[in-house]
């Protein structure tokens, strides 16, 4: 099975999700999204497949997120595309779907 993980190697949840994918024998494409962020359209498509709103995929603890408390989904998506640190991680995509792997065991839903 092929999988793509939008990964931050400094994040323990992201590393754990990657380890679960490896254990499952997945052929994993790793996208370090802070270095190579998804475009706004790619991010929108991922969130649509995950059945999530941009607000649900927003890392609200980040300083940049504070100004987005009353923002609409389009503004949040724009902010996430411009500042990928705002994207909740890790996002894992397979042919079966997309999840934010928090907790990491959520990857099993799409394997």
CB 88 within 8 A of CB 102: yes
Annotated catalytic residue, options 2, 11, 27, 39: 11
How far is residue 90's CA from residue 95's CA, in Å, rounded to a whole number? 17
Give the neighbor-by-neighbor strand order of the sheet with 2-7.
27-32, 2-7, 91-94, 97-100
Residue 76, token pair as written in the block: 């949040």
How far is residue 42's CA from residue 20's CA, in Å, rounded to a whole number? 24
Does residue 57 have an active-site annotation? Answer: no
How far is residue 111's CA from residue 96's CA, in Å, rounded to a whole number? 7
Active site residues: 11
């Amino acid at each position: 099975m092929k999988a793509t993980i939008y990964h931050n190697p400094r994040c323990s949840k992201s590393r754990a999700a990657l380890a679960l994918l490896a254990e499952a024998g997945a052929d994993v494409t790793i996208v370090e999204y802070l270095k190579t962020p998804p475009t706004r359209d790619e991010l929108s498509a991922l969130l649509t497949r995950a059945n999530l709103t941009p607000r649900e995929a927003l890392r609200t603890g980040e300083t940049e997120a504070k100004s987005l408390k009353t923002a609409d989904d389009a503004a949040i998506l724009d902010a996430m595309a411009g500042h990928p640190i705002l994207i909740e991680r890790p996002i894992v995509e397979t042919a079966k779907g997309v999840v934010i792997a928090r907790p990491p065991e959520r990857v099993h839903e799409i394997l």
